[in-house]
Structure 1
Amino acid sequence: MALLGGRDKKSDVKLVKGGHVDTLISSKTEVRGDVLFTGVLCVDGKLKGNIRSDEAKALLTVGPEGMIEGEVKVPNVIIHGTVTGDVHASAHVSLSAEAVINGNVYYHLIEMNMGASINGQLVHKPNETQALEHKPDAE
C-alpha cells in the first residue's frame, strides 16, 4: 500500500513519502486513552481516545479494520476504516472507498475515492501563514 508521496504544486505543501510504520496498533489490540505520536502511526485495531501529532511530516493510517473513537489532529491522514469524531488534517487527507467518518473533516488537501462516506461537514482550511512582523516607521 502506497502511503503518500510528492508535492502539491499549487500550495507547495510537502506530502509525506514513506513505506514504513513507526508504531502499529494491530487488529487484535484495543487502546483506551489519548495518543501523541511522531513519524508514522498505523491503527488496524480499536482506539478510544484522541490522536494528535505536531510533527509536520507525521502520518496516521487507519487500516480497513481500524476504528477510532475520538478527535484526530494530524498533518496527514489516510483512512480505510472508521473514525467517529472530527478529523483535522493540516496538510492532506486521503479516503479510500471503504472509509467512514462520522464527524466533520477539516482539511487543506483532500482526495476521496468513490464510496467513501463522511457523515458531517467538509471544511477547507487554507495553509496557515505566519503573522507579519510590524515595524514602526523610523522618524
Structure 2
Amino acid sequence: MFDKAKPKEPQFGTTNRIVEGTIITGDINSKADFRLDGILVGNYTSSGKLVIGPSGEVQGDITCKNLDIEGKFTGKLQIAELLSVKSKAVIKGEVQTNKLAIEPGAVFEATCAMKSQLIPLTNDKSEKTA
C-alpha cells in the first residue's frame, strides 16, 4: 500500500572486472573503480582507481586517480594521486604521479616525474632587523 519505487542510484563503489584469460583490444573509459586480471592492448582512462592483478597486463597509456599494480605494464602512466607498485610488478615506460610506493622485487624500468599539488607558500610578514 505504501510501497513506492525507489529511484535507482548509480553503482559507484562497485568495481568493474576483467577476468584472467580475457583480451581487450581498444580503449576503456570508466568513472568507477576497475580491476584488470586479463590483458588490455589500448588506453585506460578513469577518475577512479585501477588495480592490475598478478595476471593482468596493459600495453598502452593509463590515466587515473590511483593505481595498484601487480602485473605487467608497458606505456605511459599518469596517476593523479598514488601509484603503488607491488613486488611482482613489471613497469616499462614513462610515469608521472603525485606519490609513489614501490615494494622490493618490483621491476621499474621507467622515467619518473613526481608532480605534487602543493600551494606555493608566501611570507607576508616583514622581517625586522635589529
Shift in CA distance, 31/128, structure 1 to aligned 2, threshold 3 Å? farther
- Runs (4+) of structure 1 exceeding 6 A deviation are none
Alignment of 1:121 onto 2:114: no
1:21 offset after TM fit, Å? 4.9
In the other structure, the counterpart of 1:109 is 99
1:119 offset after TM fit, Å? 1.2
Alignment of 1:52 onto 2:45: yes
In the comparison of the two structures, how many residue pairs are matched? 107
In the other structure, the counterpart of 2:74 is 84
Letter aligned with residue 113 of structure 2: V
Name the TM-score, length of structure 2 as normaliser. 0.78
Letter aligned with residue 117 of structure 1: V
CA deviations 1:12-38 (Å, max 9, x no partner) are xxxxxxxx7521110021001000012
* Native 8 Å contact 1:90 1:127 kept in 2: no
Shift in CA distance, 39/128, structure 1 to aligned 2, threshold 3 Å? farther
Which residues of 2 match residues 59-78 of structure 1 at below 5 A? Answer: 59-78=49-68
* Ranges in structure 2 where 5+ consecutive residues have no aligned partner: 1-12, 120-130
Using the aligned pairs only, state the percent identity: 27
Name the TM-score, length of structure 1 as normaliser. 0.73
